[in-house]
Amino acid sequence: GLPLDGLVHTYTPDRDEDKIYMDYNATTPLEPEVIQAITEALHEAWGNPSSSYTAGVKAKAIIAQARDSVARLVGGKPGDIIFTSGGTEANNLVFHSALEAYRESCRTAERGGGSLHQRDDSKRSSACPLPHVIISNVEHDSVRLTAENLQTIAEADVTLVAVSKVTGRVEVEDVLAAVRPNTCLISVMMANNETGVLMPIRELCRRIRSVNGQRRHRILLHTDAAQAIGKVRVDARDLGADYLTIVGHKFYAPRIGALYVNDPGTTTPIHPMLFGGGQERNFRPGTENTPMIAGLGKAAELVISNLAEYESHMLDTRKYLEERLQTAFGKERIHFNSHFPDSESLPNTCNVSILGPRLQGRKVLSSCTRLLASVGAACHTNRGDRPSHILLSCGVPEEVAANALRLSVGRGTSRADVDIVAEDLRNAVETLEKPG
């Protein structure tokens, strides 16, 4: 049996020391079945997957099975899945590939379609302007800073399309209006990590595909689905995306990721950032992290089997949370920063501000004794007391955004947990508003 057998208690890291964890958009604990899959792989499939003896063959088989599960998770084929270290690497690989594809098309055009083997070291051929990239202004830092760096080093021009302050969503017409002849990539997240708002990816891809045929430079389409997978249905082929980012630690998998690429190297360009031993068909070489890939595959299987239940439970819990907050504080003292009447949202995300001059988000959270949550993206923790630029971009007034709490529930969050959190917040606010 596995060392996990006979555990004194079920592994529930999000409940230790009677804390209530409500920061599942930051990261999730691993499901016990995922830990089991990782542990089994560590014990029995430690071999190099490229080796022909048993331990290697077992590792290769585990990787193949995981690839199949992750492909089914996002509506792709096993050959569409490239394992990466996580979402940041996957997002960087998309930008690297799209720019290289643009340069390649320029070189080809300059040579009048001549052989691709005539290397031209200049990244900027005279016939072609710099590649142009479009992203939204509410992207995760691994997209936003990747794009900003390309602008800084003069390797691309970048347009940040502002989300609508009415819908909290990037509007398709605004993206289309930003398109230029040298646009080579549009990258828009599937769901925002702070507001939970779902972006119109399917419509955006449909409209761009309808114009791609008349363009000299194909516009490649990427969506970072980190926050959507495991919460809502994600089908890359149905969306029409060329690239789709998969992040394990948002759906109870370990810290590993993958990039969905629609027929990589044939239908969709992919250019490696790393060079090495040929793994992942040379798209992403490096000896495979078999146990983590096993965990990702198992977590994918759980989502495939249980998504409807996960989604409805999280939606019920989030709605109950919003009701309890309104009961605890009164409707006039609560502003839901994640409510945009005309937009669809993730089932689990409640971004809320309790109004009042002494109730900045971080202060309220540090006055809580049970709740573990955040005021916004975990990777923005070091931003001091500045309100989230994402909320400001969505039209949330500064004094309201300053009080934001990002409460994101998970598969195991119960109504009893919500009652405790509502009481915890009420006590925290009472303490902070005590005179003197």
Ligand X SMILES: O=C(O)CC[SeH]
The catalytic site residues sit at 379
- Can you tell me the distance from the alpha carbon of 254 to that of 245, in angstroms, rounded to the nearest whole number? 15
In angstroms, the CA 119 to CA 284 distance is: 22
Q: Closest approach of Cβ 406 to ligand X, in Å?
A: 8
Element (H, E) at 84: strand 81-84
User: By CB under 6 A, which span of 112-120, 256-264, 359-367, 376-384 interacts with ligand X?
Assistant: 376-384
Quick one: the chain helix, strand, coil %, rounded to 5? 45, 15, 40
Using CB under 6 A, pick the residue from 20, 22, 26, 409 that binds ligand X.
26
- Per-residue binding string, ligand X, 208-247, x by CB under 6 A, is ----------------------------------------
Smallest separation (angstroms) from ligand X to the CB of 249: 9
Q: How far apart are CA 188 and CA 329, in angstroms?
A: 35
CB of 407 to ligand X, least distance (A): 12
Output 97 or 374, the one with its CB closest to ligand X. Answer: 374
Helix (H) or strand (E) holding 132: strand 132-136
* Sequence-ordered alpha helix ranges (H) in 111-192: 141-152, 172-178
Structure tokens at 329: 């504080």
What is the number of other CB atoms lying within 10 angstroms of the CB of residue 238?
Answer: 13
Closer of 165 and 383 to ligand X (Cβ):
383
* Residue count, binding to ligand X (CB under 6 A): 6
Q: What is the DSSP secondary-structure string of 323-367?
A: HHHHHHH-GGGEEETT--TTS-B-TTEEEEEE-STT--HHHHHHH
Identify residues 177-206 at the interface with ligand X (CB under 6 A): 193
| Residue nearer to ligand X on the CB measure, 167 or 193 | 193
In this chain, which stretch among 8-16, 115-123, 279-287, 373-381 interacts with ligand X, using CB under 6 A?
373-381
379 counts as binding ligand X under rule CB under 6 A: yes
Q: How many Å is the Cα radius of gyration of the chain?
A: 23
Work out which of 377, 405, 425, 429 binds ligand X, going by CB under 6 A. Answer: 377
Least Cβ distance, residue 379 to ligand X (angstroms): 3
Q: Which positions lie near ligand X, rule CB under 6 A? A: 25-26, 193, 377-379
